[in-house]
Structure 1
Amino acid sequence: MSIQPTLSTTRFLAASRCNGQRCLSLQELVRELIDLATDHANLLGVGYARLAESGMAWVLSRLSVEMEKWPAMHSTYTLTTWVESFSRLFSSRCFELREGGEEGPVIGYIRSIWAAIDVASRRPADLSELTPLAEAASARQCPIAPHPRLRMPEESEERQYTFMATDIDCNRHVTTARYVELILDSLTLDDYDREEIGRFDITFTHEALAGQKATIETARCDDGVLITAIKAAEEEARQFCIARQAMRPRQQPVATNQNI
């Protein structure tokens, strides 16, 4: 089987996938990244069905999104993905986001790290048998910094949340997009009218399940950075994920009094 090293998709940005600032929302971008990664994995023969044969499932371990510009409502943009590297425990996958078609200007890059879990034990699984991943690894560059090590500052604000049925995906744990939404809610609508995300990093450490109670801790740093951790709301609480949002002044003013 010939290896297809990259996969691209061109999308029209409908209003239903926009945020209050009429741009592509981060959670929608994350969903699209996962869908495109899934499609490429299927083309390579290492998708959901192949892993299920070995009792495994893909999980996202780390994600870094760096954007020069966010696609605006009713615009067109193109996402391209490729495998950067592959090891026994992790696969590194990158994405490029262009304005318009495949020849349009680049407006963002994304790095992601994927692992597999044993569905029965919920423990990390060995990817060594997935040889198409090694064959697909590309020398194509992703010119953004690697994922940083994230630590929670000592002082933070807290709020509580209980994971519900609609927060759960096909692997029976909380979806990546739901974590992102909870993290984004650390700021207000007015905050996002003034500022936009320049870079977003998130690390996943443990899975959360329906019915679990969570504590969401947010620390605001002096340099426009927010650190948010989502933890189990119990003693010796395990951390589900931790994220870093680097904010910048919004490039275009937001029209708050216009209808679509």
Structure 2
Amino acid sequence: MYEVKSRVRLSEVSDNGCMTLPGIINSFQDASIFQSEDLGVGTKYLEEQKKAWVLSSWQVEILRYPKLGEEIRTCTWPTGFHGFFGDRNFVMKDQNGEVTAYANSIWVYMDLASGRPTRPSEEEISRYGMEEPYPMEYASRKVPMPEGGVKTSPIKVRKYHIDTNHHVNNCQYVQMAVELLEENGMEPDFSGLRVEYKKSAVYGDILYPSYKIQDGISTVLLGDENGKPYAVVELKHKGEQNDEIGRKASIDD
């Protein structure tokens, strides 16, 4: 298990003084990147190999949002490699060791030269190692597209949306979805989310969002002008989580 110790920064909180959902996701992403860098298979290595780990899906469950200045620990570890897929868990804890959020993610290893998925080498897999999956209820990586959703204003991809792979950063899609719902009167009281990434948007692309709210679930489609999705974001409002997902799962230190 890889662990990053930090405190909740002012740049990570909303006007209520608590960490935002994108702030939690960024902490998870950063932990996985730091592990790869420390293992010698980070951004420079991948660039030289013309490879990239591309996120296919998120499932994030929130028990509570840490407050400004709180000490937090973000833990991550791979749980399996199968074909060109890699599975990775995340857990965020407070200074008392209580879990505040946890997540599952599925990644695809891409050959950037061919533009196709490829298997990671045995040597690459051995560097990461594997541990047991986190005890949570695992949802499908497929997120249903909203039918008959409300269309909203297009979003142009800006430079600040782009990551080191020259694509829109994974968390930026979540940020767009959260802001879209807030602008349409929704409270950001999310207890969890799922995201399915379909294709990568790049600088200059135009995203055409639509959203639908049903049974406490807000689903946001971020697609192209023809409705083909870049990402589908499903946000679960408080009160909709079941006993299994809502329980305070524990993990050994």
Smaller-chain TM-score bracket = 0.7 to 0.9
Question: Is 1:206–1:238's contact at 8 Å kept on the other side of the alignment?
Answer: no
Q: Which residue of the other structure, out of 194, 200, 222, is the alignment partner of 1:230? A: 222
Question: Is 2:62–2:191's contact at 8 Å kept on the other side of the alignment?
Answer: yes
- Which structure 2 residue ranges, 5 or more long, are not aligned? 240-253
Question: How far is 1:114 from its partner?
Answer: 1.4
Given the alignment of the two structures, is residue 150 of structure 1 paired with residue 140 of structure 2, yes or no?
no
Of 170-179 and 50-59, deviating more is 50-59
Q: Which residue of the other structure, out of 203, 212, 224, is the alignment partner of 1:219? A: 212
Given the alignment of the two structures, is residue 209 of structure 1 paired with residue 202 of structure 2, yes or no?
yes
Alignment of 1:178-193 (within 5 A): 178-188=172-182, 191-192=186-187
Question: How far is 1:135 from its partner?
Answer: 6.3
Residue in 1 aligned with 2:250?
A: none
Question: Is 1:111–1:142's contact at 8 Å kept on the other side of the alignment?
Answer: no
Q: Which residue of the other structure, out of 232, 238, 241, is the alignment partner of 1:248? A: 238
Task: For residue 170 of structure 1, give the secondary structure of its aligned residue in structure 2.
Answer: coil
The structure-2 alpha-carbon separation of the partners of 1:133 and 1:83, relative to structure 1 and needing over 3 Å to count, comes to farther
The structure-2 alpha-carbon separation of the partners of 1:54 and 1:148, relative to structure 1 and needing over 3 Å to count, comes to closer
Of 131-140 and 107-116, deviating more is 131-140
Question: Is 2:146–2:220's contact at 8 Å kept on the other side of the alignment?
Answer: no
Percent identity of paired positions between Structure 1 and Structure 2: 22
In structure 2, how many angstroms separate the alpha carbons of the residues matched to 1:25 and 1:144? 23
Question: Is 1:62–1:147's contact at 8 Å kept on the other side of the alignment?
Answer: no
Residue in 1 aligned with 2:246?
A: none
Q: Which amino acid aligns with 2:62?
A: M
Alignment of 1:66-105 (within 5 A): 66-100=61-95, 104-105=97-98
Q: How many residues align?
A: 237
Q: 1:113-140: per-residue Cα shift (whole Å, max 9, x none)?
A: 1122222333223224444358611125
- List 4+ stretches of structure 1 deviating above 3 A: 128-135
Task: For residue 98 of structure 1, give the secondary structure of its aligned residue in structure 2.
Answer: strand
Question: How far is 1:197 from its partner?
Answer: 0.9
TM superposition score normalised by structure 1: 0.83
Residue in 1 aligned with 2:251?
A: none
Measured on the aligned residues, the alpha-carbon RMSD in Å equals 2.0
In structure 2, how many angstroms separate the alpha carbons of the residues matched to 1:122 and 1:58? 12
In structure 2, how many angstroms separate the alpha carbons of the residues matched to 1:25 and 1:177? 12
Question: Is 1:14–1:74's contact at 8 Å kept on the other side of the alignment?
Answer: yes
Given the alignment of the two structures, is residue 170 of structure 1 paired with residue 164 of structure 2, yes or no?
yes
TM superposition score normalised by structure 2: 0.86
Residue in 2 aligned with 1:64?
A: 59
In structure 1, how many angstroms separate the alpha carbons of the residues matched to 2:123 and 2:45? 9
Given the alignment of the two structures, is residue 38 of structure 1 paired with residue 28 of structure 2, yes or no?
no
The structure-2 alpha-carbon separation of the partners of 1:140 and 1:163, relative to structure 1 and needing over 3 Å to count, comes to closer
Given the alignment of the two structures, is residue 141 of structure 1 paired with residue 134 of structure 2, yes or no?
yes
Larger Rg: 1
In structure 1, how many angstroms separate the alpha carbons of the residues matched to 2:14 and 2:140? 25
Residue in 1 aligned with 2:22?
A: 27
In structure 2, how many angstroms separate the alpha carbons of the residues matched to 1:39 and 1:213? 31
Question: Is 1:44–1:133's contact at 8 Å kept on the other side of the alignment?
Answer: no
Residue in 1 aligned with 2:4?
A: 9
Question: Is 1:225–1:244's contact at 8 Å kept on the other side of the alignment?
Answer: yes
Q: Which amino acid aligns with 2:162?
A: I
- Which structure 1 residue ranges, 5 or more long, are not aligned? 1-5, 250-260
